Structure 1
Amino acid sequence: MESQGVELAQLFSGCGLAPANIVDPSAKMSRRQRLIIYRNAQRLSPASEIGLLAGRHQRLSDFGVYGYAFASCETLGDAMLFSIRNMSAACPVMQIRYRPEGGGIVLSSHASDDLSDILPFIAEYWRSSMQTLVNRATGSMIISRRMLFPYSAPRHWRLYEEIFECPVEFDAGVMEWHFDEATLARPLPDANPVNASLLEALCAQLIETTRGASGLERRIRLICTESATIPSATEMATQLGLSSRSMFRRLTTEATTYQLIVDDVRRTLAMGLLRDPTLSLEVVGQRLGFTEATNFSKAFRRWAGMAPSEYRQRCAGGALGRHHPPPGGLSI
């Protein structure tokens, strides 16, 4: 923004933070403050493609611990799974999920209603930033299958093709990023399993520190973890002393949903329980609230990209030990 003649004081206007906070490692920024800065950037920049440009010029160090941990994973696929497990450490303003599909994975983004006026900017900034992170980690340009966006093509749409070098579809109704299996199997040149494990633990600490500003999600996670079975949304709201509508509304302002929290708790618990060979898959599924083992298997495939039996085998062989999420659950 400064290179375009915009002063930082203008960029921070109205958010309650000062430009000096940029170099303060103890400074915190809320989602509301982040969105104010994004809206200021969109309004003040003379370039409509500012989100794409900002993301493209990031360095690996700009991603902090999250970036170094990403680059320390063995393969790009491992790094993508790490990325999803620890997305909260990257301070996203959208909900990011993934699913296996056709020999690859799909990253899907879900935006809340309060982002409608700034969705293209955020999508461009996030996609461009992540493309940069992937390129920095692999040491070369990584080509994905395709990208889909829910909005109409902007006037700078050709820059999308230059930055992403893959088919880009607008007015698609969804926001997705598709990677194929061969790309995910690509080894990372700076892979270091010891660093990956240590840095992921640091990411977990950052996430827990960030969550301290809002106790609602923490309380929900604690109740889900300590309950014999995962409560329904109505049961959870009752335990919290809230109406279901109030609980849903407060979670929306925190860029999450009850289902996302429950899925994340279930995934974390599942990965821990599956390490115990004395527990059958049926028992693990029942502990997580699944009445049918097939439903548990389908859900676990969505969370981890593999069957629970395969995950258990890999754990037994030590292949997944360093990638296991730390206790407490991680939000995406």
Structure 2
Amino acid sequence: MKRIFYTLILLALIGLSSKSNAQFTTISSGNWSNPATWGGAPPMGSGTVTINHTVTLDMDYVHSSGSITINASGSLVGNNSMRVFAMNYPSGTASLTNSGTFNVARVPFISGTIINSGTLYADSLLNYAIITNNTGAHIYATQFMVHVGGIFNNNGSSISTNFLTLSTVTNNGSLTSNDFTNSKDFTNSATGLINITSDFSNIDTTAGPAIFTNNGNVTVANDWHNGSQINGSGKFCIGANSWNSGQMTGTFDFCDQSGNDVDLNTGTIAGTITYCVFPCTVGINNEISENKTNLFPNPNNGLFSISINENCWNSEIVFYNYLGEKIYSSLLNSENSNFDFSNQSDGIYFYQIKLKTGDIVSGKFIKE
């Protein structure tokens, strides 16, 4: 009889928690599924949820109506590397606002509005929703895909290993990825900084045509390919091979380190495109591997340190902004050196260490 009684109480609590207008606010840190975290039944897919403490997501979870707000003092952290947190799967109207820390491995945002003003970590981020990453906010996603119908507005920092968009992206901040593919509509604004540490592709798929508008700055360390349309008034800096099989229009500057202009052109290039008007030898690591140095933290707020090995001692280090303009230089005369760039604008910065042998060690960092 007691077991039946407790079961009925549990079902009643879950029933109350499933109401879309129910209110849930953490009263202490703990597991999501633990009533002690909430002072009552935990949220079960709907309602207005407010997180002010450290909540461990100990179950795969879907929120489909109402809202979830993670305040600056709060965090939502998955308890294993396969944990899933989904918004509006398979459908729904819920929203997520994060001003604290969100760290869950598998994250599908199927619809709704996602506003990030804090730090969002995910191993796999699949977006069909509207994500706004605010100024000063950070998204770290190993695999980041903006699927058909999704929107990503980046005003802060986005760092990934693989970035693929089949929909609409506007970058007003900094976006860093190992590999980058645009297959729909990507706009890099005049304040936008994109750093691709391997390959860049702008190619049509069934979601196409792929239109990449660059009014800011794009640095590609390895290969660059345009198979569709690229326009704008910004700058491209390419470290290895470049191939255009589409259309290049606008007034942007294109600088290929292996030969200034496009290596292979089987498409069309407007006469208004310029080549290496602003040389960008800085930041392309075709010199010595930067493993002789360690800059940390990266990204940073302008306060950082550089550790070097003995081969770099008493060498000059020169810092440049994304335009290749020299902004600071000094001698490295110790194993660890501290720097203060807090008065500099946010963005991508490059450095070169000129060794006495004549060799150059290069690297880069992001100030946010």
**As a proportion of its length, which structure holds more helix?**
1
Please say whether Structure 1 and Structure 2 have the same fold, judged by a TM-score greater than 0.5.
Answer: no
Q: What TM-score do you get using the length of structure 2 for normalisation?
A: 0.26
Structure scoring higher RCO (CA < 8 A, sep ≥ 6) equals 1
**As a proportion of its length, which structure holds more strand?**
2
Q: What TM-score do you get using the length of structure 1 for normalisation?
A: 0.28
